[in-house]
Amino acid sequence: MIRSKPDEEEYWNSSKFSAFTFDDEDDEFSSLKESKRAVNSIRLLDDDDDEDEVEKVSWSGEPVGSISWSIKETASSTQSTIRDQGFPKIDTTPTLTKQGSGYSLSSLFKGRSKAGSYPSFSECLNEVSTRSFAPELRKPKSEYKDFVSDWTPEETVRRMRTGKAYSLETFRSLKDKLLLLDEAVCALDGNVITAVLIYLKKSLSKEIISRELMSREIALRHYIHYLKEVGEQKLLLDLLRSLGRTEDMALLQYREHLNIKDEVRRKDFLKSCVGLPFAPDDATHVQDHYTLLERQIIIEVNDKQVESKGQTDVFKKYPRKASILNMPIITTLYYSCFYHYGESEGTYSSPANIRQTFKISEKQYFLTALGARAKLKAWFDVDSLFTTKNWLGYTKKRSPIGFHRVVDILQKNNAPVQVLQEYLSLVEDTELRISLAQKHRCHDIIIDTYKDLKDRQQLIVYRGKVERGSPEDRKIEALLNNTQIRWKN
């Protein structure tokens, strides 16, 4: 039968046998015999293993060990041999050396190593790479739960509190965002509330946030605190203004003076704050702050000039250690009592003027002035603080803080015994007077007190505590020998 040329080419291409070549047939025949032996060896292995009933197939789907599979294996090896005998090619791709492995792909299917011996299972584990050739199975859906982002607000808040992965980007509508915020507030977790508010701040306009936070007081407090911490002053002022909280807005604006270092600029800023809508008490405080800083600037400039000239004794003996600027009102009063005591009330640096301007209480003024004048050892000024005259012209000492506290202040400033005894005698409580006198070793006060109490026994006991022959001892002896005193014991 005569075939056409296309049919003839199709026949040879589809035939199971290759066309005639001038190659050595012995090599092909020996390859066929080797393939047959490999098939027989696989069959023997299959007969020995009763438990392995699984049919082995090649990558093309044909059963391993079949005739067609063996022929294809032989043909592929023959073609590779022919290619190797041709012109050499330069392989520019990196290759891996095969010297470390004793197996080929065909030997793995045949069950033999290149050496011809059958490998054991342990040898296969040791030689073959640890990579898994089987396809990886899909993980259970429960293991992917942490990467799912369609949680409810309750589930999202719970994950936020427990430190698990979460996403807020899925809450896109205003309703969902507010539900998430309400759930965070119900959880009573400040960190969660702040995190949700930060997301709302990024995704909503400030007008919507202000409107929605008006009815959510807890969230509003957290939001205001957050804006204060991050320093978004303008946004915070706009929020308070939209909420109608003018007093809070004024206080927040007043706090800006803390960031101004220059005293003149700070004074001008405080002056601009005087007209803000403060509460009555806060308005008085802001006004006093402005007035105090204005006065401190004037005092500082004048005292610097006086100190530089060196014409005043108090500045030469006690040089200033710090500036008076930005000091509290009590510190300013102490400074005035220390350096400007006795000045006329019309001057800004006068203690009396400061007391009247800032409405300092009598007790606070006495404590401050007493400490400043006692520090300078100006005992005459200390005495004038407590001396008053009645309408008949009689003088009397009076203290708004109690003379026992006066004694403690004087003693801390190393007042002499005579000064201490003068004010110890004015302590009304007898036991307290004796206790303070013993503490400060004012013997005359103790002796006179026991004399006034007509307590001879206590006087005798105290005589044993003083030095023999001392003025105190002779004074006690004279009192004990005085027959005009009517002792009670």
What is the residue-wise DSSP string for 103-118? Answer: --HHHHHHT--TTSSP
CA dihedral sign of residues 259, 264, 268, 271: positive
* Coil vs helix vs strand at 57: strand
Write out the DSSP string of 192-241: HHHHHHHHHHHHS-HHHHHHHHTT-HHHHHHHHHHHHHHT-HHHHHHHHH
User: pLDDT at position 233, please?
Assistant: 86
Contact 319, 300 (CB under 8 A): no
Alpha-carbon gap, residue 337 to 319, rounded angstroms:
15
Dig out the tokens for 443 from the structure: 């013997």
H-only helix segments in 97-205: 105-110, 121-127, 153-162, 174-187, 190-203
Residue appearing with tokens 């002056």: 271
- The DSSP code for 274 is T
CA angle 385, 391, 397 (to 5 degrees): 30
pTM: 0.61
User: pLDDT at position 488, please?
Assistant: 86
Q: Which amino acid is at 193?
A: I
Alpha-carbon gap, residue 414 to 408, rounded angstroms:
10
User: pLDDT at position 311, please?
Assistant: 80
- Tell me the pLDDT of the chain (489 aa) as tens digits: 555 555 666 655 555 555 555 554 445 555 555 665 655 555 544 455 444 444 555 555 556 555 555 555 555 554 544 444 444 444 444 444 444 444 444 444 444 444 445 555 455 445 444 444 444 555 555 454 554 557 899 999 999 999 999 889 889 999 999 999 999 999 999 999 999 999 999 999 989 999 999 999 999 999 999 998 998 888 998 899 888 888 988 998 898 888 899 999 999 999 999 988 999 999 999 999 999 999 999 999 999 999 988 888 899 999 998 999 999 999 999 999 999 998 988 899 999 999 999 999 999 999 999 999 999 999 999 999 998 877 777 788 889 989 999 999 999 999 999 999 999 999 999 999 999 999 998 999 999 999 999 999 999 999 988 888 899 999 999 999 988 888 888
User: pLDDT at position 38, please?
Assistant: 58
- Residues forming a β-bridge with 395: 389
Alpha-carbon gap, residue 489 to 483, rounded angstroms:
14
User: pLDDT at position 52, please?
Assistant: 46
User: pLDDT at position 217, please?
Assistant: 93
* Coil vs helix vs strand at 448: helix
